Amino acid sequence: MKNLLAIVAAAILLSGCSANWGWYVVNPAIPKGMSNLEFLVSGLGYTVLLSVTAISISVVVGLLIALPGLAANRYLRGFNRVYVEGMRAIPILVLILWVYYGLPQVAGFTLTAFWAGVIALAVSDSAFEAEIFRAGIQSIDKGQFEAAHSISLSYTDTMRFVILPQAIRRILPALGNQLVYMLKMSSLVSIIGMQELTRKANELVVTEYRPLEIYTVLLLEYLVLILIVSAGVRWLERRMQADVRN
């Protein structure tokens, strides 16, 4: 929070020479600016919760979709291809709108904006996760499968104890990229009223009529958030590599 305010303050100082810019609306040195900044940052929790929930679901679903793609049965492989290609072909914004407005009519129940966003993002991302898992599993040497089979491990135990731990180390950077992608795509959920970062910025623009200044803060919010997440993913990757060496 302090770092974000410092960046905003620096932007204000650098741009204060222009009479056409109203950086006072996000100036932390005055009460109104501080109030506006707190309003903008208040959407951070929903953005993180939405993204983490959606990515957690999409990883599980993606793994379950990836396994049929590795099967010898052509019908299972066909199911995998239809799901992956179908979900990747649908724009996320369209899927969000359909889940929020269309799914309740089809299924006969109501959805909050949060859960509609989670479902849409998770379903869309699960297709990409499935391809990531498929590529990671296929990258493991076949000798690992044969060794597991030679000691009478079941398919489930082979995947759980032998293949997936190795595959996850290899695909961790790709999974991290998907988390960053999810954080950015979560901004689209603002269209159905989700009170996340982008929605808060849109509401403040309507009242303050200062889109340049407010959207600049929004840009910085996403920049700081994604840099933190990227650093966390790199740390985890180094930690897993160190565990392997030890």
**Predicted pLDDT of residue 64:** 95
Residues 6+ apart with CB under 8 A from 36: 25, 26, 204, 208, 214
Please state, in angstroms and rounded to a whole number, the distance separating the CA atoms of residues 167 and 57.
19
**Predicted pLDDT of residue 237:** 82
Q: Which residue has the tokens 């689209």?
A: 188
The C-alpha angle with vertex 123 and arms to 132 and 83, in degrees rounded to 5, equals 70
Please state, in angstroms and rounded to a whole number, the distance separating the CA atoms of residues 111 and 104.
7
Residues 6+ apart with CB under 8 A from 56: none
Q: At residue 91, what are phi and psi to the nearest 5 degrees?
A: -60, 140
Please state, in angstroms and rounded to a whole number, the distance separating the CA atoms of residues 206 and 144.
59
Residues 6+ apart with CB under 8 A from 165: none
Q: Are 132 and 167 in contact (CB under 8 A)?
A: no
**Predicted pLDDT of residue 17:** 46
Helices 211-245, 197-208: crossing angle, 10 deg rounding: 160
Q: Go through the domains of the chain in sequence order and give each one's CATH number.
A: 2-43+197-231 (no CATH), 46-194 (1.10.3720.10)
pLDDT less than 70: residues of the chain? 1-20, 243-246
Per-residue DSSP letters for 127-173?
Answer: HHHHHHHHHHHHTS-HHHHHHHHHTT--HHHIIIIIIHHHHHHHHHH
Please state, in angstroms and rounded to a whole number, the distance separating the CA atoms of residues 99 and 73.
32
Instruction: Tell which residue, 125, 100, 229, 101, has the closest CA to residue 185.
Output: 125
**Predicted pLDDT of residue 233:** 87
Please state, in angstroms and rounded to a whole number, the distance separating the CA atoms of residues 202 and 210.
10
